């Protein structure tokens, strides 16, 4: 018998799941900009664990940039999305 966590339920995430993290990082944006003129935010979901078995819901709009120059969502190790 083989146990494989790639088989099973896969959830979907939307803006409401990542918005608190984006807002938290945006609160630090002035400090980041003092060190670099261009600031991009990379959010990582570790898809190698059962808790990471989620994907972006394609029916949902992307959140705003909240002051960042770009926003990326990376489902490690499979795919990356540029959200803005």
Q: Which residues pair with 71 in a beta bridge?
A: 41
pTM: 0.74
Which distant-in-sequence residues (6+ apart) come within 8 Å of 10 by Cβ? 53, 54, 55
Sheet holding 70-76, edge to edge: 40-46, 70-76, 79-82
Q: What is the 8-class DSSP label of residue 51?
A: G
- List the chain domain ranges: 11-82
- Band of the pLDDT at 2, cuts 50, 70, 90? very low
Phi, psi (deg, nearest 5) at residue 26: -65, -30
Q: pLDDT digit string (tens) for 24-77?
A: 999 999 999 999 999 999 988 877 766 557 788 888 888 889 999 999 988 877
């Amino acid at each position: 018998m083989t146990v494989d966590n790639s088989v099973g339920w896969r959830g979907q995430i939307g803006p409401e799941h990542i918005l608190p993290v984006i807002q938290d990082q945006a609160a630090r944006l002035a400090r980041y900009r003092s060190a670099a003129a261009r600031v991009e935010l990379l959010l990582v979901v570790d898809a190698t664990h059962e808790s990471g078995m989620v994907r972006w819901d394609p029916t949902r709009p992307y959140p705003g940039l909240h002051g960042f120059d770009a926003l990326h969502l990376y489902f490690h190790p499979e795919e990356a999305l540029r959200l803005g």
